[in-house]
Amino acid sequence: MRLDQVPQDNDYLMEGRTRELCYAVDEKGRYVRVLSAGWEPKNAALIQAWEQVYERVKATYDDVLAGKKSPLAFFMAKRMFDVKLLSAYTNIPKRKIKSHLDPDCFRRLDTETLKVYAHALNVTVDGLLNGPRPIDVPFRTEKAGR
């Protein structure tokens, strides 16, 4: 990659917090370090990954409204936790977490357990208990600042 080929395709994915350091060759063929604001193909791959997450969040949201899954399932999808990861963070057995994905089981949960889940998933206990609101569902890939 030559110095003049270093891409500056800013899709605001780094939120203006930083730029990325790249290595490129100058006109004398020497390697120099230069900052890049982003690159189209890699932005596309990152946006694709998020769209995948959001698709799952939307599907889970519909399931929660239809009474098929508990709000816990929704916030897990939103924060990208699977049962194994949530179990690791909370020390709650996987088997129990699976049962709490069921709306009836979830309703009977005590406040202590709810607190543990809420902390791990970065929501308030009320937010978790009352279930997702439409505003919790991202309607497109979030691009801060746009």
Partner 1 sequence: MTIDFKHSQSAHCENGVTSSLLRHHGLDISEAMAFGIGSGLFFAYLPFVKYDGIPTTSFRPLPGRIFKRTAARLRIRMVRKKFRDKEASMRALDETLGRGIPVGLQVGVFHLTYFPAPYRFHFNAHNLVVYGKENGQYLISDPVMEQPESLTYDELMRVRFARGLFEPRGHMYYLRDAPGHIDVASAIIKGIRKTCRDMLTIPIPLFGVKGIRYISRKMSKWPSKLGAKRAALYLGQLIRMQEEIGTGGAGFRFIYAAFLQEAAEALNNGRLEELSQSMTECGDRWRDFAAMAGRIIKNRASEQESYPALSAILSEIADRECRIFSELKDAVL
Binding site for partner 1 (CB under 8 A): 1, 13-15, 17-25, 29-31, 33, 35-36, 39-42, 44-46, 48-50, 52, 80-81, 85, 88-89, 142-144
Q: Based on CB atoms, which residue is closest to partner 1, 72 or 121?
A: 121
Distance CA 14, CA 49 (A): 15
The one-character DSSP state at 144 is T
Q: Residue 127 carries which DSSP code?
A: H
What's phi and psi for 128, nearest 5 deg?
Answer: -70, -40
Q: How far is the CB of 70 from partner 1 (least distance, A)?
A: 21
Q: How far is the CB of 108 from partner 1 (least distance, A)?
A: 26
DSSP-derived secondary structure for 105-119: HHHT--HHHHHHHHH
Nearer to partner 1, 103 or 118 (CB): 118
